[in-house]
Amino acid sequence: MSNGWIIGTLLLGSFLAGFLILGWLMLKRPLELWDWGTRRALAGAGLKKVIVPAPVGPQTVFVGGTGPVLVFLHGAGHQAGTWLRVAKALGGQYTLVIPDLAGHGESAPATGPIQAADIVAGLEAVIASQAHGQPVTLIGNSLGAWMAMVLATRHPDWVEWLIAVNGGPLKGANAEVRLLPATREEARATMAQLRDASSPAIPGHILDDLVRRSRSGALARFSATAASMEDWMLTEEQLRVLRVPVRLIWGVADGLMPLDYALRMVAVLPEVELIPLDRCGHVPQQEAPERFLAALRRALGEAQGVEGREAS
Domain that holds residue 185: 38-307
pLDDT tens track for 105-119:
999 999 999 999 999
Q: Looking at residue 89, which CATH number applies to its domain? A: 3.40.50.1820
Question: What domain count does the chain have?
Answer: 1
- Which of the four pLDDT bands, split at 50, 70 and 90, describes residue 29? confident
Q: Report how far residue 23's alpha carbon sits from residue 21's, in angstroms, rounded to the nearest whole number.
A: 5
214 falls within a domain = yes
Predicted confidence band at 6 (pLDDT cuts at 50, 70, 90)? low
- C-alpha closest to that of 154 among 215, 92, 232, 226: 232
Question: What are the pLDDT digits (tens) for 149-200?
Answer: 999 999 999 999 999 999 999 999 999 999 999 999 999 999 999 999 999 9
Element (H, E) at 153: helix 143-154
Distance (Å, whole) CA 78 – CA 98? 12
Residue 109 lies in a domain: yes
Flag whether 12 is in a domain.
no
**Res 302 pLDDT > 70:** no
Q: Which residues contact 109 (CB under 8 A, 6 or more apart)?
A: 56, 57, 102, 103, 118
Q: Is residue 137 part of a domain?
A: yes
**Do the domain assignments include residue 266?**
yes
pTM, whole model, 2 decimals?
0.90
DSSP state of 249: E
| Band of pLDDT at residue 312, cut at 50, 70 and 90 | very low
> Which whole number is the average pLDDT over 28-36?
90
Sign, Cα dihedral of 252, 258, 260, 264: negative
Residue 4 inside a domain? The answer is no
Q: Is the pLDDT of residue 308 over 60?
A: no
Assess if residue 27 is contained within a domain: no
Q: Predicted confidence band at 304 (pLDDT cuts at 50, 70, 90)? A: low
Tell whether 33 is covered by a domain.
no
Which amino acid, residue 285?
Q
